Every structure is written in C-alpha cells, then in structure tokens.
Amino acid sequence: MELGLVGLGKMGGNMRQRIRDAGHTVVGFDSNQEISDAKDLADMVGQLTGAPKVVWVMVPVQAIDPVVTELAELLSPGDIVIDGGNSRWTDDTRRAAQLAEKDIRFVDCGVSGGVWGLENGYALMCGGDKDTVDAVMPIFEALKPEGEFGFVHAGKVGAGHFSKMVHNGIEYGIMQAYAEGYELLEAADIVDNVPEAFRSWREGTVIRSWLLDLLVNALEDDNHLAKIQGYADDSGEGRWTVEAAIDNAVPVPAIAAALFARFSSRQDDSPAMKAIAAMRNQFGGHAVKGAEDPSYATPPTKH
C-alpha cells in the first residue's frame, strides 16, 4: 500500500526503508530536502494516489501539532493520520477530535526499537477504531518484528501511547535496577572483573534481557564507563508514568526512584542537600562541609 511519512530522522528514515523493503510505497517528507521525497507536506499528500490516504507522522513532540493542523487542511474525509511520535496519551484524544471535525481518522502508535528497529523490527502499540487500525495493518506488519509478538492494538485512541508510556516507565525501572547493581559491584571491590560478571549473566540467569545485552556491549567498549558522564536525560514518558500512577493511586516506588535518580544526575549541586547540610550545621555547630552529627561532636580523645 501507499504511505505518506512525515519526518525522516533516525527513526523515520529507517522506518521508510523497512516499509519499502516490505514492498510498500512510501512518500517521505522531511525539512531536510536531501533526504526528502517531497518538497512540502502538500506535495507529499499530492503524490499519494489512492484512497483513503494514510499519513504517518514521526516528528518531535513539539512539531506534532503544527503537522497535524496542516494535514487537517490537506487531507480528505476518510483519510487516516497516524501519530507515531512520543505524544502524551492525553494529547491523542484532542488531536483525534481536531481531525474528526474534518472526518479524518486517527490512530496513535507508540513505537519502540530505536536504532535497532530497522534490523529487528519495531514494537508497535496502537490505539484507535478497529476499522482504522485494520486499514493500516499492512504498514504495521511491515514495521513490526517477525513472529507473533511486537504488535498490539491496545484499545481506543490514546491506548497506544498509554501502553508505550508504561513500557517506558518499566524501562526506567529496569535500567535503574541494572545501574544500581553495577554501582554496587564497582564499589565493593570483591568482584575482580565487573564486565565479566555482567557478561556471564546473558544466559541462564533470571535477569537476562536485551537491556543487559546492551549494557554488556557498553562495558566491553569501556570497562569502567570512564568515558561516560553519569548524566541522564528523561524524555517525558517516565514523568507521565508517575503522574498517571498518581492519578490512579498506584504506588510506583521503583519507577519514581529511577526518575528521581535522573533528575539528580543533572544537578551540579542539590538544593535539598544544601538544606540538609544547613540543618546539620545548625544543630551540630560544625563547619558545613564535613558537618557532623551532634553526637559525634566530641573531638577524638586518645588514651
């Protein structure tokens, strides 16, 4: 089938190739004309010949609304827009309503797989009406990994991005677990070769996983991660997961811990810990850096 694809970055560019490899026609648009198949969105839509026209939007979060708004003008009733970006699921309903005013249909689709997706396939979590999802199914089939896994029609509009959000929340927690274990092994000075220990875990253990494989790769390149700063961005889904958990009164201590660890990793100095140091100074009467518990106040006496 025919697909318009907006956004040909690392994700979109590889997705174009994987869909074409499956025998479909893709008209890609990107503001970078060197990689674009169309000179603008209107041109892209114009190159699609069938009906309904199907357009996959794969752009950064801040660009989604402008693209959707422009597509609402360019497309016709019955056409389909798929948002494959990192949207918050609560935005899906709004965009679906905006497009529905023109009788344009909407599917939200969370996409996982990163730079490995071209080769391994992309895991897809989508939300929308069954008929609309079915209409896009050949594209989903092309993108997803081979075999019986890697695709779910999770529910109505928003359910796709909600699933992807929870997926990423879980990802935060899992990564934090490996990271804590790594730090402990490094700190304890008992295990001679930490990368070897992690490497051994790739088979036979309870914790074998793809993320473990990736961490082992990284440790093989850089045994003590000396080239890497302990600084971790967060992309939104972790925050939204904790917020959704709060809205539903669901305790998520491990995922929240992972999120907070990332926040801390980006601080040069912690205002909270300044307050701790200030209080210790107040009750212990000590110099601030190296301030001691009051009960430690006795200077060492020797006998």
Q: Which residues are catalytic?
A: 164, 171
Under rule CB under 8 A, residue 21 binds a second copy: no
The pair of three-digit structure tokens given for residue 229, joined into one six-digit string:
């700063």
Cβ 231 to a second copy shortest distance, Å: 6
- Nearer Cβ to a second copy (40/78): 40
Identify the burial level of 107 via C-beta atoms within 10 angstroms of its C-beta, where 0-12 means exposed, 13-18 middle and 19 or more buried. Answer: buried
Q: Which stretch binds a second copy (CB under 8 A): 48-56, 72-80, 132-140, 153-161?
A: 153-161
Considering only 53, 88, 95, 144, the residue that binds a second copy (CB under 8 A) is 144
Query: Does residue 73 belong to the site contacting a second copy (CB under 8 A)?
Result: no
Q: How far is the CB of 273 from a second copy (least distance, A)?
A: 3
Site string for a second copy, 226-265 (x = CB under 8 A): -xxxxxxxxx-x-x-xxxxxxxxxxxxxxxxxxxxxxxxx
* Count of residues near a second copy by CB under 8 A: 174
Q: Which residues contact 221 (CB under 8 A, 6 or more apart)?
A: none
For 60, the enclosing helix (H) or strand (E) is none
Residues 81-140 that bind a second copy (CB under 8 A): 85-86, 89, 110-117, 120-125
In this complex, which beta carbon is closest to a second copy, that of residue 22 or of residue 210?
210
Task: Write out the binding residues for a second copy, residues 273-302 only, by CB under 8 A.
Answer: 273-285, 288-302
30 touching a second copy, by CB under 8 A = yes
* Shortest Å, Cβ 113 to a second copy: 5
Which of 96, 54, 93, 43 lies closest to 76 in space, CA to CA? 54
Task: Choose between 50 and 190: whose C-beta lies nearer to a second copy.
Answer: 190
Per the listing, tokens 């309903």 go with 93
For residue 46, state whether it binds a second copy (rule: CB under 8 A): no
Q: Least distance in Å: CB of 183 to a second copy?
A: 4
Among 21, 22, 32, 51, binds a second copy (CB under 8 A): 32
Q: What 3-state class would DSSP assign to 57? A: strand
CA 23, CA 16: separation in Å to the nearest integer? 11
From 21, 103, 180, 223, residue interacting with a second copy (rule: CB under 8 A): 180
At a CB cut-off of 8 Å and minimum separation 6, what does 273 contact? none
- 22 or 149: whose CB is closer to a second copy? 149
Nearest CB to a second copy, comparing residues 25 and 93:
93
Q: Does 149 bind a second copy (CB under 8 A)?
A: yes
Question: Pairing relation of β-strands 54-57 and 123-127?
Answer: unpaired
For residue 162, the number of C-alpha atoms closer than 13 Å in the C-beta half-sphere is 15
The torsion region of residue 16 among left (phi > 0), alpha (psi -120 to 50) and beta comes to alpha
Closest CA to 137 of 54, 26, 16, 58: 54
292: left (phi over 0), alpha (psi -120 to 50) or beta: beta
Taking CA atoms, 30 is separated from 117, 173, 253, 277, 289, in Å, by 20, 34, 40, 51, 53
Segment near a second copy (CB under 8 A); pick from 2-10, 18-26, 99-107, 132-140: 2-10
**Does residue 206 belong to the site contacting a second copy (CB under 8 A)?**
yes
Our finding on whether 22 is near a second copy (CB under 8 A) is: no
| Cα–Cα distance, 206 to 213 (Å, whole number) | 14
4 binds a second copy (CB under 8 A): no
Query: Hey, what are 38's tokens?
Result: 């169309």
